[in-house]
Structure 1
Amino acid sequence: MGEAFTVIETPRSSCPISRSIELLGDRWSVVILRDIALHDRRGFRELLTGNAEGISAPVLSRRLADLVRAGFLTKMEVERGRAGRYSLTEDGIQTVPLMFELGRLGAKLDPTTVPAVTVAGDRSRASIESYMDRLRSLHLN
């Protein structure tokens, strides 16, 4: 089991690294943010079926709720029977450099992995910032 992660409301310490882990430190949160930010999967069904890691529907539902509650995502409410869409908040967009660093480290630690996406052909800070600006125009309007 071990899937009952809930956002830790009160920080254990004043360490910003610890706080980031408290907010994003389960096995699915960054992967869900990756699927939204890098693959533009914004509906529940898209996130469920497009996820290569095999997340289950109940876990996805809980993690999405946690990410909304923690302020990384917003959910556009729609009429009953229609699927809602998730958008990144500015805090969610701020996780993009972390994703690229984790991707760089993962490729170094395990060269058999395949990069999820390249940003404008490179991973320079300017390229990542440009990508983040595109996400802002798609998600923050």
Structure 2
Amino acid sequence: MANEHRSACPINLTVEVIGDKWSMLVLRDMIFGGRRHFRELLTKSDEGIASNILADRLRRLAEQGIITRADDPSHKQKAVYSLTEAGIQLLPVLCQMGMWGRRHMPVSEDMALRSRLLEEGGWPLIRALMDELREVHLGIPRPPGTPSVSAQLLAAYEGAVASLGRTPDTQIASNKN
């Protein structure tokens, strides 16, 4: 069997899995937006991914072991997507991308808030969010008494938007994590 990879470099191999234009945004929406159904991922993203591209990225991410797809018990024609442990371990990568973007790109204050809070909270906050994702996606309970990081991020976002005199984006405010 021929080698399917350009090289065995860990950065190259990671880029081959998640380095396209859409995969990280799909993961962002699953991690920070609580989106787990195709329709949610399709319609509630600011970037406007096409349905065929989304279907392809979800298939690829599942093939690579980053997410899983299962029948939704609440609706026979729906599937629910979940992060695997490998997908959850991409959270620090997303956090670093957000921090870089905040420093070097013209981001909006409200959209940069999550990145700033995660940076300020450091590894303890990131690990707590990873534990929360494990509970939601893998069914592994968080340590007792652990506050919801997603709820903290949502409250901060809503406060920031209100201080700017705007109404919170219902796509972000509806985060169920």
* TM-score, length-scaled by structure 2: 0.69
> Cα distance, 1:97 vs. partner?
0.4
Q: Which residue of 1 aligns with 2:71?
A: 77
96, 114, 117: which one aligns with 1:117: 114
Measure the CA separation in 2 of the matches of 1:49 and 1:100: 23
Greater share of helix residues, 1 or 2? Answer: 2
Q: Which has the larger radius of gyration?
A: 2
The answer (yes or no) to whether the contact 1:100–1:123 under 8 Å persists in 2 is no
Match for residue 103 of structure 1 among 65, 83, 98: 98
Q: Give the secondary structure class of the aligned counterpart of 1:117.
A: helix
Q: Matched residues in 2 for 1:56 and 1:111: separation?
A: 25
Task: Give me the whole-angstrom Cα distance separating, in 1, the residues matched to 2:8 and 2:114.
Answer: 34
Aligned residue number for residue 144 of structure 2: none
Q: Residue 41 of structure 1 aligns with which residue?
A: 35
Cα deviation, 1:33-63, whole Å, max 9, x if unaligned, reads 0000111000000001111101011100110
AA aligned to 2:100 is L
Report what 1:136 is aligned to.
134
Q: Unmatched 5+ residue regions in structure 2?
A: 140-177
User: Unpaired segments of 5 or more residues in structure 1?
Assistant: 1-8
Q: Return the TM-score normalized by structure 1.
A: 0.86
- Aligned-pair identity in percent equals 37
1:6 is aligned to: none
> Quick one: which amino acid aligns to residue 115 of structure 1?
A
User: How many residues are matched?
Assistant: 133
